[in-house]
A = this chain, B = another copy of it.
Amino acid sequence: MKVIKDSVHDHIQVDGVARDLLDTPEIQRLRNIRQLGTVSLVYPSANHTRFEHSLGVYHLACEALEHLAIEGRQAERVRAAALLHDVGHGPFSHNLESLTHRRTGRYHDDVHGLLTDGTVGEVLREHDLDPDRVADLVAGEGRFGQVVSGELDVDRMDYLVRDAHHTGVPYGTIDHGRLVRELTFVDGELVLDEGNVQTAESLLVARALMNPTVYNHSVARISKAMLRRAAEGLLDAPDTDVDAATLQRMDDHDLIVALRSCERTATLSRRLDRRDLFKRAVWAEIDDVPGGIIESDHETIRDLEREISDRAEVDPANVILDVPSRPSMTESTTRVMVNGEIRRLGQQSPLVAALRAGQYSQWRLGVYSPPDLRERVGRAAVDVLGLDIDGALVSEVRDGLDATLDQFVD
């Protein structure tokens, strides 16, 4: 038995297959990938890694399995899947996902390969566990996959609490002890037991409050967009031979140094290193943005960026157009027992619709540029994208001010 001290869950016992998985390069690599990517540029304490998060998810999975009275090989598979659920992550966690997926054309295959081949596959087979079935659990498939990846999964429970602990933002402090205790299987579905509508709501609310405050903080979005632009430059640079698959297997150290070393990305990289970031020129609500733009693909966005830089007469490197996808809320399908029957939280709770509406009202399209070019870039973007000028331009640009609205940035 191995015992690991964790800043969130205190002592975590690691036994069985998990103990051997811990020593694989695939899991150890997660020590070098920050959980929240560029969010540490907003919240300087947010330096926690995918490694400690994976341990936390494993720990909560063990507790859930105990309360669900699941034992034996089935339980071992779930525990392995919990520990392994993030091995597919590239550097900076989710920050570069869209890029690497677009360039490699696959996501799930990769994870499947990581679990079946190499040391991880060996360890699983040594413990008589079928890597394919573990991979299915990681993908959220099957009855027990819901514990690892679903509306009520232990992944979410750990990251909300952990991200709150490390950013210092209190909104993620859910009652994971209660959540884990109240899970039960009814007709093969993972549900929260009777009397837990609030418990389920609290999970949604935590996400809804953490989203704008942490995960989608404007400075985190700007730096993420800059990082993505830099990483794309690295893939396309004539003086490197980094392709998307290589990038995906890097850790944060590799990528940061590669960006510093590559001529094409040196400027952006220095800006990120020095926190000398682009600023928002445009910050537009969903209703002020033509629908077509929201649905547009990567190539179209790159074209729009070029149009904006042309019109503004600035270097294309100085314009980033950041278009999030339409808001969604998967947690609304959380199942809760109410008066003896399974109900979807979305049917039961008026909060769900409200939180969805909240997400909609928080959606923003951003156009970013170096501070001294904001006015030119902002006005050009309004023209090119057909935005409502008053709603879209940030006030400094609109009013010609030099000030910044950001208060909670460092």
Contacts and interface: CB of A to CB of B under 8 A. Distances in A.
Interface residues of A, number: 76
Contacts of A151: none
A25 B168 contact: no
Interface stretch (A95-103, A175-183, A376-384): A175-183
Interface in A170-202: 170-171, 173-175, 177-178, 181, 194-195, 198, 201-202
Contact of A355 (B49, B340, B351): B351
Nearest to A360: B350
Interface stretch (A1-9, A68-76, A294-302): A1-9
Contacts of A254: 257, 260
Nearest to A202: B209
Contacts of A155: none
Which of A5, A29, A177, A355 is the most central at the interface, judged by chain B CB atoms within 10 Å of its CB? A5
A149 interface: no
Interface string A341-379: 000000001110111011001000000000000000000
A44 B168 contact: no
Nearest to A352: B354
Which of A23, A178, A181 is the most central at the interface, judged by chain B CB atoms within 10 Å of its CB? A178
A243 interface: no
Count this chain's copies in the assembly. Answer: 4
A2 B409 CA distance: 8
Interface in A11-54: 11, 14, 22-23, 25, 28-29, 31-32, 34, 40, 43-45, 47-49, 51-52
A405 interface: yes
Interface stretch (A121-129, A136-144, A271-279, A313-321): A271-279
A252 B260 CA distance: 14
A19 to B, nearest CB: 10
A11 B257 CA distance: 32
A47 B44 contact: no
A3 B181 contact: yes
A213 interface: yes
A276 B25 CA distance: 9
Contacts of A5: 43, 45, 167-169, 408
14 contacts: A5-B169, A6-B44, A7-B45, A23-B276, A28-B275, A29-B273, A31-B40, A44-B55, A170-B173, A171-B173, A171-B175, A254-B260, A351-B355, A351-B358
Interface of A: 2-8, 10-11, 14, 22-23, 25, 28-29, 31-32, 34, 40, 43-45, 47-49, 51-52, 55, 165-171, 173-175, 177-178, 181, 194-195, 198, 201-202, 205, 209, 212-213, 252-254, 256-257, 260, 273-276, 340, 349-351, 353-355, 357-358, 361, 395, 405, 407-410
